[in-house]
A and B are shown apart, each in its own frame.
Chain A
């Protein structure tokens, strides 16, 4: 894998992880509101 490919790959991963964190945050807020 070239450096550029790795960079693209990692940027994509960073975006995926950020979206997952947002989803989890939403779920936590929802669960906390239900309590």
Chain B
């Protein structure tokens, strides 16, 4: 059995990347032996269609389960159609995620958790020519809020998600600065 975990670095001790389509790496783990292989996600900078491309790539690798932070509708649909179970809301390290999965603490997701294009940002900055960036959540709440109370709840959920992303980015910055 193969389980793909989205991660910010190619290691079992890396933090789970909260994005699926534009995650930086996948760590593909055999839950029985904890042997793993890593895959750099070529769609990390993709302007559009990252979710579908990544979902195709993952399903082509014979993965049965995906553990990630969030998954958009296109990727979710593609993975479901390919018979890949999607588990979202996963955080901590890849190793933690695998332990949670093996202990039955993680539940399969019944629907996408973010809107399309989640993880796309406004760009890489002047002159880098690297296309859109990452991390921008949908412009509005998703799905559409029916009442102010629901919108507040959704926004609070989005806040939590963004805080996790920010922490992951800051940890990676510290890691990179530490290597200088």
Contact = CB atoms under 8 A, between A and B. Distances in A.
Contact of A35 (B121, B136, B148): B148
A11 B173 contact: yes
A24 B169 CA distance: 19
Given A21-B163, A28-B156, A31-B152, A3 B136 contact: no
Given A9-B124, A11-B173, A32-B152, A20 B133 contact: no
B133 A16 contact: yes
Contacts, number: 74
B39 interface: no
Interface residues of B, number: 31
A10 B136 CA distance: 13
A33 to B, nearest CB: 10
B17 to A, nearest CB: 12
B5 to A, nearest CB: 20
B133 A13 contact: yes
Interface residues of A, number: 25
Contacts of A12: 121, 124-125, 133
> Which one of B125, B136, B169, B170 has the greatest number of beta carbons of chain A within 10 Å?
B169
B90 to A, nearest CB: 19
B176 interface: yes
Contacts of A27: 151, 155
B166 A17 contact: yes
B125 A8 contact: yes
Q: Give me the 3 closest cross-chain CB pairs, A-B, nearest first.
A: A17-B166, A31-B148, A13-B135
17 contacts: A1-B130, A3-B179, A3-B180, A6-B172, A9-B128, A9-B130, A10-B169, A10-B172, A12-B121, A12-B124, A17-B135, A17-B162, A20-B162, A24-B155, A25-B159, A28-B159, A31-B151
